[in-house]
Amino acid sequence: MARVLDGAALAAAMKQEVAEEVRRLGEQGVRPGLAAVLVGHVAASEIYVRNKVQACAELGIYSDLITPPAEITTEELLALVDQLNARDDIDGILVQLPLPPRIDSKILLDAIDPAKDVDGFHPVNAGRLLAGRPALAPCTPAGVIEILKRSGIPIAGRHAVVVGRSDIVGKPAAILLLHENATVTICHSKTRDLSAITKQADILVAAIGRPGFIAPEMVAPGATLVDVGINRLNTREEFDRFFKGDARREAAFAKRGSTIVGDIDPKAFEIAGAYTPVPGGVGLLTIAMLMANTVRAAQMRRGLPRRGL
């Protein structure tokens, strides 16, 4: 039977370590601070940001939630970012995506001080990550590595296949795996004979944004499956494709009218050696990594040693 890599337990352990480091920094007169910028009213974004602010409160990190109206301009947001860059009580700046279509997201994210870029999206941090230099890494890919390491999954010398090449997940995940001495293959929508490559993977990371895209026949028996995808299913046809006969999921679907599935068909988990569930896997590590990045930014900005994270 495949081993479940419990994101909840791993995230809880990480948060405990973050809280301890925040306490130690407090003894030195330092309190890490995170500014979250939430533009307008998007229900999913509001939930995500609320969870991040709540995590800050639980761990002793100062947070400042800034909620500009949806009508704000790119120029006004750039001025806000400049103010946050200059604030000494703010170590991390996160601009919740997606932004309204008329906002130039790239210009805005590039305006964040790389030293405060706790999402790890700035080109400077991307370059440092590629070069193996100290950097704030994107939270989800960093969470993937934490799951593997803390679960005792060997990485060095293993063949890791990453399906997806986004700047936010796929590419940085591949770089981080390479830094851990894996042999890495990146696949994407134009990859020929994808199944032949994924079946070679000791570690298969799915981050392509398509529900159940990785089918059982694309997975090698005993492989470790890391599912980064979060896809909402709203129709009975979609539900039955993946969860027909699953009484627990059926009850949840009947109550909510929807359920979520990752980028890996759950039936593939039956032949895996280990896997991250959806929900309850990588997603829970993302917020924990954001908290860790905020603490790390506070340490790096002040030239303090990094301990425990």
Enzyme catalytic residues: 52, 96, 119
Residue whose tokens read 């991390």: 92
CA angle 191, 195, 198 (to 5 degrees): 90
CB 264 within 8 A of CB 212: yes
- CA–CA separation, 174 and 170 (whole Å): 6
What's the token pair of residue 53? 């602010």
Query: How far from the centroid of its chain's Cα atoms is residue 36's Cα?
Result: 16
What's the token pair of residue 30? 């330092």
**Would you tell me how many other CB atoms lie within 10 Å of the CB of residue 5?**
25
Q: How many residues does the chain have?
A: 309
